Amino acid sequence: MKVLFLGDIVGRAGRNALQQNLKHIQKKHEIDFTIINGENAAGGFGITKEICADIYSYGADVITTGNHLWDQKEIADYIGSDNRLLKPYNFPEGTPGAGYNIYKTPKNENVLVINLIGNVFMKSDDNPFLKVEEILRKHSLSNELSFIFVDFHAEATSEKAAMGHHLDGRVTAVVGTHQHIPTADTRILLGGTAYQTDAGMCGDYNSIIGMNKEPILDRFLGIKSKVKFSPALGEATLCGVIVESDVKTGLAKKIEPIKFGGVLGTQ
């Protein structure tokens, strides 16, 4: 099975690039299932019901999120009705929405997608290392479950690496999001789990992590900017990974980074 995962969509540039290119990428690489992190899709801050519908229409099967999930207040009323939109599972108990779910591919294979969020340098949530064990006690790779994918939305590379090794051999892939910069450590860990510290973003890289440069530069220079943070609107690069699993074990057979279009595009 081949699963495509794309990192955080940042604003309209990322959404436009998805609309124009996602189905081409899926066809070219014979993708069976597509997961996209959408937490910055609405003007760089959060996601809406309408944007979810658009992303599904472009070809996404599941949307994961992170710390900006609640920036658009309407999503709290919507997320409970959409089992393809995930929140981080280790958000506090009582938070609306699902943190993981099992989905069926067109080939009738089952894919478990888990969304987690880190605690280092971020608002503290429940321990993601302990919370993921709750899920894996109920679900494991088997003939009935062909693929387990974990989106770990975290700031610290050490926390992401630790999660990769913690889950090595028990899930198909652990890929990080949140930093918006694709890392160069794509590999299969010793136990057979595909790993990359950060998938990067789907956004304009002629920017500062997807946002217009000027107000951010002003902040670093100690200047009080009159301009609000907003997403850059140039041509976006779609960044992420393609993970191919071993049909016998559910573990990873291959992982390759993908960078399509924009200033980073290589495919």
Catalytic machinery residues: 68
Q: Measured between alpha carbons, how far is 21 from 196 in angstroms, rounded to an integer?
A: 23
Residue with tokens 């591919």: 105
For 132-135, the CB contacts below 8 A with 24+ separation are 132/89, 132/90, 132/163, 132/166, 132/167, 135/89, 135/100
- DSSP-assigned letter for residue 27: H
Selection from 231, 236, 227, 215 nearest residue 43 by Cα:
231
Selection from 244, 256, 183, 200 nearest residue 33 by Cα:
244
Using the CB atoms, write b or e for 164-182: b if 16+ within 10 Å. Answer: beebbebbbbbbbbbbbbb
- Contact (CB, 8 A) for 37 and 7: yes
Selection from 72, 18, 67 nearest residue 179 by Cα:
67
Q: Measured between alpha carbons, how far is 58 from 251 in angstroms, rounded to an integer?
A: 28
